[in-house]
Structure 1
């Protein structure tokens, strides 16, 4: 690898082992085997390098999660069982990438004081939501529509909530079955039945 790639690898390792706030430029240089000056040359600052490393590490985690979703889809044809299996798998990936998730929460704390980080996270927010919508549906991609963004927002809220609860108390973090039961209870108390036209359901033909 070149110096830039070595720095990215070293920064990702530091994020996992030391966290976002405690990682110094010297830590990254030592982990990557590259000089301190190379950080400024390739990335401009330690913060810019850590931000880029955090985003890349998250993308790598998403790829691992895609495998979990695909495996769950193959395990059962029942939507409820797939939902449970997917979220149990998500919890496993959070446990396996604990350092990454801890660093993400640390980064959020720094957002207000680091405009560059806020801008970096805002820039990927929309793409991240569309990516989650596609991921949890087992699709390669989804169109940029209000419906898909809303679906992504819902999945994002579940994901971040699960990660936060797991980091705080792993033994109390919800399971896929807990999520399913909560969805049933909330949906039943909040959602209204769809109105049926006075003449009965509209006929759309054999494929409608």
Structure 2
């Protein structure tokens, strides 16, 4: 790898092991085996490097979730069982990559005082939502439409909520079956059932066949 790739790898390792807020430029240089000056040359600042590393590491985590979705789709044709299997798998990946999620929450807390970080996260927001919409449907990509963005917003809220609950109390974080039950209860109390078509009022209605 070149210096830029070494720096990215070192920054990702630091995010996982030390966290977003505690990582110094010297930490990254040591982890990557590259000089401090190279950080400024390739990325401009330590913060810009950490932001890029965080976004890239999150994308790599997304590939793991894509594999979870693929396995669930292969294992069952039942949508409910697939939903449960996918979210059980997502919870496992959160547990396996706790350091990454801890860094993500650290970064989100700091956006109020870090304009550069806010811009980086905001810039990735739309792409991330479309990516989640594709990911949880088992598709390589989805079109940039209002419907797919809404789908991505829902998955994003569910995902961040699950990760936050797992970080706070792993033993209390819901599994796929609990999330499915919650979806059923909320959907049943919020969504209005679609009315049946009024065939009798249709201009093409001619009464029952003789």
What is residue 61 of structure 1 aligned with on the other side? Answer: 61
Which whole-Å CA distance do the structure 1 matches of 2:41 and 2:135 have between them?
Answer: 36
| Aligned-partner Cα distance in 2 for 1:163–1:201 | 50
**Aligned twin of 1:163:** 163
Question: Offset at 1:197?
Answer: 2.7
TM-score normalised according to structure 2 size: 0.94
Aligned-pair CA distance for 1:29: 0.6
Alignment correspondent of 2:73: 73
Q: Residue 21 of structure 1 corresponds to which residue in structure 2? A: 21
**C-alpha RMSD of the superposition:** 1.4
TM-score normalized with structure 1 length: 0.95
**Over residues 49-88 of structure 1, what are the superposed CA-to-partner deviations in whole Å (9 max), with x where a residue is unaligned?**
0000000100100011100110011111100000000000
Cross-structure match for 1:206: none
Q: Deviations over 1:83-141 (max 9, x none)?
A: 00000000011011110000000000111111111111111111111111111111111
Q: How does 1:4-153 map to 2 (within 5 A)?
A: 4-153=4-153
Unaligned runs of 5+ in 2: 205-210
State the 4+ residue runs in structure 1 displaced beyond 3 angstroms: 200-203
Unaligned runs of 5+ in 1: 204-208
Superposition deviation, residue 196 in structure 1: 2.2
Shift of 1:193: 0.5
Matched, 1:177 2:177: yes
Distance 1:191 1:149 in 2: 19
| 1:143-181 CA distance string (max 9 Å, x none) | 111111111100000000000000001111000000000
Per the TM alignment, residue 6 of structure 1 is displaced from its structure 2 partner at its CA by 0.6
TM-superposed deviation, 1:198: 1.8
Give the greater-gyration-radius structure (CA).
2
Shift of 1:38: 0.8
**Mapped partners of 1:11, 1:125: distance in 2:** 21
